[in-house]
Structure 1
Amino acid sequence: MAKKSGGDWRCVYALDQRRRPVSGSSKELAEAIRHGADLRIYTEFFHDEHINTASTEHELIREVADFRVTYLLESRWTAGIVTLRLPISLPEGFGPRPSMSFFLYNEDGLQGIARPHLDRSRATGKPGPSHIKDHKEMPKYHELENWDEGTNAPSSSFFYEFDVFRFLVNEGWEEVFAHTGDGTVESGSLEALVEGFARGREVKVSVRGLCADMEAPHTGIGHEVFIQTGSCYYYSERKQFIAGSHPVVRVRPAIPLQYMSKGWDFGWLMLRTDGLVVRWLVDPYTLQFQKSQSRHSIRWFVR
């Protein structure tokens, strides 16, 4: 497994306001994600068109969002999810209710938002399709689907006509170990993973089929989910490596990747090099935690 040169960010794909490719390619983006690359997306918009439509300030805003969880679907389609953001109310501060802002972007510019509220207010609606708003005050915002309005976990699919989309990747990760769901080695070595971790290198994983239990019967969309880990541990006698993940948002696999009612959740993972993945997942409608486990093929990267 060749080590990727990295440290710098580069644009591998770009779309215009109509979401048409203008440079790079989706294949190059998918190849970078396949090798563990981090993803950020650069966009441009105007304050009075996107933030405050009642404002007279026609000021250009440039944004770069950090997509800490990435998906590679059917080995060709890329999507990313923002996992660490609370609602920002530019330029003053935060939004009115505490919640997570799980923004989802696909490689074709299709976007989504899932917003689990954290204040435990009483729900006023029930899960299911909701009225699609026309957003006449924001002509560049096009809502396509709206779900679960009035519940603790509303979500929607939409696209906003950003002036530009730039898909930026950092390819500083090196794949050092891969195994099947029963721990059978496919490539690399556990020793290389342990050596990198012991030197203080960061660890990232790709988990194959992490969301398979969310799929409709007989769909079987192949997918890998890429997540950075935090604390890692090595049992030196039993030769077992264990990692605790950063937050992960799971979405029912589809191309394009989209939120829908009862089709997503979030939580944390504990991953082992024998293929075991222990999940502590949150039901976004109730904020109740539930533990479960499954086995998966995992690829391990260090940086």
Structure 2
Amino acid sequence: MSNWNTVLELDSERRVTGGDPQALCDAVSRGGDLRIMTQFIYNEHIDPKSSDDSAVNEVSDFRVTYVIDGRWVAGIMNLRMPIANESDFGPRPSMSYFMYNQDGQQAIARLHLDGETPADHSVIAAEAFDSMPKNHIQAHLDADTNAPIVNFIWDFEVYRFIVCDNWEEVYAHTADGQTVRGSLQALREAFLEGREIKVGLRGICRDLAEPGTPAPDHEMFVHTGPGYDWVSQGLFSAGAQPTVRVRPTIPMVYASGGWDFGWLMPRTDGHVSRWLGNPYTLQFTKSEDRCDIRWFVR
């Protein structure tokens, strides 16, 4: 039996036709994984010059998720390279950091990895978007940089938000390591059984807020990879999968200078080591933070 269930569905005008936005928010807040199914017409989305008007179904994995102000969900594809069509990748090596909001509003940050000058950003060029009548650009920014971004709405035939809500929260603590729920021992035991681990990091993007404006309450959820039980120190830490940090807003959008990418290493005393990349220069900087953290296992 599948552990994946549709909790929210929107039509092409982004009206709710099934499920409930609150059910989506509740599931993601419990650590639930998010996939989104969309449907589009081939010659409306892939190749406007084609005579092929058949439907294409896409299901994508959003392994970085956000809950903003306890009531709004957005997800980011953190592992995707550009797909041109059924036969090939896109023209340049890059990351396709697509971001979807619970109301169907979308965005993409294109992080180029080839070190070339930003002379050709045809993957998300404004004229390419304009040639597709079901695409509605809200903002096209940083086009002449290594990391162009577009905020937009694509009128997919359907949006289906599917979650796997089978994570168990075993430990929650404050930014200074004070236990809120569960126990470090429960986390350790699950880790030694080989179970998967996921973290919820509260306030991890507050430094990306507009100057002079406090960031809204937010929590980022991301899977971890390697974990470490530091027995003599009484600590546990884990390396998170690659993540994308975005200025927390409702809805979530990309803004010039309002996002970055990289790796995080949370620890059970609230400490978070950060190794973050500047998307415009590809230069990396190490830094530290402290967060309220929740640890999930399955």
What TM-score range do you get, normalising by the shorter chain? over 0.9
Q: Which amino acid aligns with 2:198?
A: K
Quote the sequence identity (%).
Answer: 50
Contact 1:81/1:249, CA 8 A, preserved across alignment: yes
What is the aligned partner in structure 2 of residue 202 from structure 1?
196
Judge conservation of contact 1:33–1:78 (CA < 8 Å) in 2.
Answer: yes
Deviation, 1:292, is 0.3
State the match for 1:148 in structure 2. 142
* Runs of at least 5 residues in structure 2 that lack an aligned partner in the other structure: none
User: Partners of 2:214 and 2:288 in 1: how far apart?
Assistant: 22
Match of 1:171 among 165, 172, 194: 165
Do the aligned residues in 2 keep the contact of 1:7 with 1:172 (CA within 8 Å)? Answer: no
Alignment match, 1:253: 248
Confirm whether residue 26 of structure 1 aligns to residue 24 of structure 2.
no
Could you tell me how far apart the structure 2 residues matched to 1:204 and 1:186 are? 17
Query: What is the CA–CA distance in structure 2 between the aligned matches of 1:7 and 1:230, rounded to whole Å?
Result: 24
Structure-2 separation of matches of 1:208 and 1:59: 43
Q: Indicate the residue corresponding to 1:113 in structure 2.
A: 108
For the 8 Å contact 1:206–1:224, the answer to whether it is kept is yes
Q: Which residue of 2 aligns with 1:284?
A: 279
User: 1:42 is matched with which residue?
Assistant: 37
Deviations 1:99-147 (A, max 9, x none): 000000000000000011001112459xxxxx96584431101111011
Query: Which ranges of structure 1 fall in alignment gaps of 5 or more residues?
Result: 1-5, 126-130
1:87 and 1:94 in contact (8 A); partners too? yes
- What RMSD in Å do the two structures reach over aligned CA positions? 1.6
Task: Label 1:51 to 1:9 Cα distance change in 2 as closer, same or farther (>3 A).
Answer: same
1:58 and 1:267 map into 2 onto residues whose CA distance is 39
Moved more, 136-145 or 9-18: 136-145
Taking a change above 3 Å as real, the CA distance of residues 289 and 295 of structure 1, as seen in their structure-2 partners, is same
Aligned residues: 294
- Structure 1 stretch displaced more, 219-228 or 104-113: 219-228
**In structure 1, distance between residues paired with 2:147 and 2:273:** 24
Candidates 72, 84, 87, aligned match of 2:82:
87
Q: For the structure 1 residues 7 and 178, does the alpha-carbon distance in structure 2 shift closer, same or farther, using more than 3 Å as the test?
A: farther
Deviation at 1:237, TM superposition (A): 1.8
- What amino acid is the match of 1:52? D
CA distance in 1, matches of 2:168, 2:47: 43
2:48 and 2:127 mapped to 1: Cα distance?
A: 16
Contact 2:206 / 2:214 at 8 angstroms: preserved in 1? no
Q: Deviations over 1:231-261 (max 9, x none)?
A: 0010112210010000110001100000011
For residues 246-296 of structure 1, give each alpha carbon's deviation from its aligned partner in whole angstroms, at most 9, with x where no partner exists.
Answer: 011000110000001111000001111000000000000010010000100
What is the TM-score when the length of structure 2 is the normalising length? 0.96
In the alignment, the residues of structure 2 paired with residue 64 and residue 50 of structure 1 have an alpha-carbon distance, to the nearest angstrom, of 15
- SS at 2:112's partner residue? coil
1:242 corresponds to which residue? 237
1:262 matched residue in structure 2 = 257
The 8 Å contact of residues 132 and 144 in structure 1, kept in 2 or not, is answered as no
2:174 aligned to which of 176, 180, 186: 180
Secondary structure of the corresponding residue to residue 100 of structure 1? strand
Query: What residue in structure 1 maps to residue 8 of structure 2?
Result: 13
Q: What whole-Å deviation, never above 9, does each CA across 1:84-110 have from its counterpart, x for those lacking one?
A: 000011111111111000000000000
- Structure 1 distance, partners of 2:151, 2:241, is 25
- How far the C-alpha of 1:196 sits from its partner, in A, is 0.5
